[in-house]
Amino acid sequence: MVIGEVMDYSPLILSAKLALVATGLLLVLALPLTHGLTFARFKGKFLVEALVGLPLVLPPTVIGFYLLVAMGPDGGLGRLAQMVSGRPLVFTFAGMIVASMIHTLPYAMQPLKTAFERLDRRLLETAYVLGLSPVAAFFRVVLPNTMNGLAAAAVLAFAHCMGEFGVVLMVGGSIPGETRVASIAIYEYVETLRYQEAWQLSLALVLISYLVLLAVTFLNRGERYA
């Protein structure tokens, strides 16, 4: 538990793992959710829209506090996890993924929503007239035409998870190798006056994030549909 004399980069790897897993799961979750909120018509839609946007408004430590309660042994999510895996969710890597996903959901949904709204409705209507099922239409018409939005959602979600601090500080518990991610490690270096290490880890975090964002932007270049 003593922070080693040699620079320890494991928090960085943990951060990258957290961001990648959370982003992947988020896209799977955000795609149908955003699709539903954009195209479906139901009563109280605006209520759901406002609800998923809440993490944008609430301070991260406040979200973290509520998640701490919800994911603890007495909370709903915690009890559910206890039944499934035998452990409460709080202070585990899985718990951090859940927390990051909830906090990052609006960041993943916003670009998707914009992309869905821009989609030419005539394309969809044509697909239905030609006999495509809604699911087939989603994969063969909607998705290929909203790749930009998907890429933007992935970038935003990844960046947000990578740098997230307040929520994971609350529900993580800073366990080395399991929940001590880069942002927390940097914070702890600063707290212990080890500014040199803090600076090194920050630089590495920025570099990795920049490279990932660069890669996505590069891959996305060829996908522009006018």
Partner 1 sequence: MGRTIAIILLIAAIFSAKPSRAEQVVAVAVAANFATAMEEVAALFTRETGIRVQASYSSTGKLYAQIKHGAPYDLFLAADEERPQLLHEAKLAEVPVIYASGRTVLWSGRPDLVEETDWQAVLARQDVKRVALPTPEIAPYGQAAFQAMATAGIWELVKPRLVYAQNVAQAFQYGEKRAVDVCFTALSYARSQSGQAGRVWEIETAPAVVQKGCVLTRAANRAAARRLLDFLGASPAKAILATHGYR
Which residues fall within 8 angstroms of residue 143, CB to CB, at 6 or more apart? 150
Given the rule CB under 8 A, which of 14-22, 84-92, 99-107, 124-132 is the region that contacts partner 1?
Answer: 84-92
Check residue 74 for interaction with partner 1 (CB under 8 A). yes
Between 4 and 44, name the residue whose CB sits nearer to partner 1: 4
**What residue has token string 């959602």?**
153
Burial tier of 93 (Cβ tally within 10 Å: 0-12, 13-18, 19+): middle
Contact with partner 1 (CB under 8 A) among 90, 96, 141, 161? 90
Cβ at position 72, least distance to partner 1 in Å: 4
Question: 19 with 162: CB under 8 angstroms?
Answer: yes
Please report, as residue ranges, which positions from 158 to 217 form the binding site for partner 1 (by CB under 8 A). Answer: 169-170, 173-175, 180, 187-188, 190-193
Between 141 and 169, name the residue whose CB sits nearer to partner 1: 169
The whole-angstrom separation of Cα 120 and Cα 126 is 10
In the structure encoding, which two tokens stand for residue 210, read together?
A: 């920049």
Three-state SS sequence of 131-171: CCCHHHHHHHHHHHHCHHHHHHHHHHHHHHHHHCCHHHHHH
Question: 201 with 12: CB under 8 angstroms?
Answer: yes
Between 136 and 175, name the residue whose CB sits nearer to partner 1: 175
Check residue 80 for interaction with partner 1 (CB under 8 A). no
Check residue 82 for interaction with partner 1 (CB under 8 A). no
Size of the site for partner 1 (CB under 8 A): 24
Check residue 3 for interaction with partner 1 (CB under 8 A). yes
Between 24 and 163, name the residue whose CB sits nearer to partner 1: 163
Cβ at position 184, least distance to partner 1 in Å: 9
Residue 104 DSSP label: H
Contact with partner 1 (CB under 8 A) among 19, 68, 124, 141? 68
Residue 133 DSSP label: -
Calculate ∠ Cα 17-210-215, nearest 5°: 80
Give the interface with partner 1 as residue ranges (CB under 8 A). Answer: 1-3, 68-69, 71-74, 88, 90-91, 169-170, 173-175, 180, 187-188, 190-193
